[in-house]
A = this chain, B = another copy of it.
Amino acid sequence: MQDQLKLDNFICFAVYTASHALNRVYKPLLDTLGLTYPQYLAMVSLWEQDGQTVGGLGEKLFLESSTLTPLLKRLETAGYVRRERSREDERVVVIRLSEEGIRLKEKAIGIPGCIAAASGRYAVDLTRLQAEIVALREALNKSVV
């Protein structure tokens, strides 16, 4: 039997659909902040560490400049960040939170709890699951070289 070609046995399919499911849970919460999900991740990274470069953010979020540049421009238009060319190295663009961007953190603080409530109704330990998914990601990233 070739049930290796059945969708339900694909870990990739599980991850793919879980990712969409998470997005759907986040969407109504993020709508109140005026953020999309990738924009939210960028803001979380900036709340952790302000003044990151486009490349630095890309490394943390695993995204290319072709994805981040327009996303960050939209965040700038929304008034949450400023994009400034570094004076020491004119190739580099530094992203800085605006006052409004800093304030937004207060409104975002409750979101992870809402997600935990939505996902935590079943038995599995989310912390361990999270660590295992990260391990999977690392194994995959290594294999791509």
Contact = CB atoms under 8 A, between A and B. Distances in A.
B22 A140 contact: yes
Which DSSP category, helix, strand, loop or mixed, fits chain A's interface? helix
Given A118-B140, A135-B122, A141-B21, A130 B14 contact: yes
A46 to B, nearest CB: 10
A139 interface: yes
A26 B13 CA distance: 12
A143 B119 contact: yes
Interface string A115-145: 1011111101010011011111111111110
Interface stretch (A1-9, A69-77, A79-87, A89-97): A1-9
B5 A108 contact: yes
B7 A140 contact: no
Nearest to A62: B17
